[in-house]
Amino acid sequence: MSTTKLHELQKLGQSIWLDFISRKLMDSGELDKLIKEGLRGMTSNPTIFEQSISKSSEYDRDIQQGIASGWDAKAIYESLAIADIRRAADALRVVFDESGEADGFVSLEVAPALAHDTAGTMQEARRLWKSVDRPNLMIKVPGTKEGVPAIRTLLSEGLNINITLLFSLEQYREVIEAYMQSLEIRLAAGQNLSQVSSVASFFISRVDNVADKQLSEKNHPELASKAAIANACEAYRLYLDSIATERWKKVKASGARVQRPLWASTSTKNPAYSDILYVQELIAKDTVNTLPPVTLDAFKDHGRLEEGLLRNLKSSRQTLQAIADAGVDINKITFDLIEDGVKKFAESFAQLLGAIEKKLTAEQG
């Protein structure tokens, strides 16, 4: 197959992952095709599984088998999710191996109800890690106050962790510190640092959803669509600062991998904006962008190959200052979005279990 835009993005230092998973994607051969085109990984979340499982008949037979085995809705969901994650991980194993274990990951999230439960998060993350049993698995753990200590411990134990639901810069500082501490713990114990991988997932479009509304109310339409990209640029600045420290250089010399920023929620919600706004403007070295299928198709069709983030980084501080001067508090917006994100994933998870419960009840009836 000829060189594609995804291959060219990889040359610029950015990996494209797919923010979607379904059996149809794998059964049809579409996933294998995307991997050949340069796809470097996949992410999932409760909303994605809710859409895949509850809105198709592809899983009905396995659900019926779970019912026959006497499983409850959560056990049935996990069996379906784990089977899909394993298949996707096996398909992406070629990327994992060829990249020297830098890419080729598939992410599976702990239950959203555990977002504020440190011990519960660690217990479930370990259980899922063992159940999936694939070296290119990443366990997704929310970057909440209670999630950060769990992240540090799990990484120090050698689990690959995707820190999800990041919005605020303060949140990200804590995540960077947790990753650094986990590597130092492993170094002190004489453990292999290169076997641990992590990404820090910053959610993008949701910031603009809230900020744009407030800017409109304050009569500053010229700043619309600016907040999310500027916030992401400042996160990237924190990343660059972190890998310039002597502390980082010490663990890097012992084999540590960078914890790449990952841009999530990058589909454009406002139809007035470009459908690839949050892809085009956030291309940079050592980053990942996880795209839903429609956004991936759009970028393949009309995306441009240029490092947009570094251009935006030159003015991101001024942009955020202008937004603050307009009376919009980005710090408050991003802080509030953390809990909103946890709530939305919990709702999707409840809807998913509810759909399975309906099938369970109908079968038993």
CA angle (27 as vertex; 26, 33 as ends), nearest 5: 55
Question: Hey, which residues does 202 pair with through a beta bridge?
Answer: 166, 263
- Between CA 239 and CA 249 the distance in angstroms is 13
Question: Hey, which residues does 17 pair with through a beta bridge?
Answer: 41, 290
Question: Could you say which of 5, 140, 226, 359 is catalytic?
Answer: 140
Query: What is the token pair recorded at 292?
Result: 């839903």
- Between CA 238 and CA 259 the distance in angstroms is 12
Indicate if 140 belongs to the active site: yes
Name the residues annotated as catalytic: 140
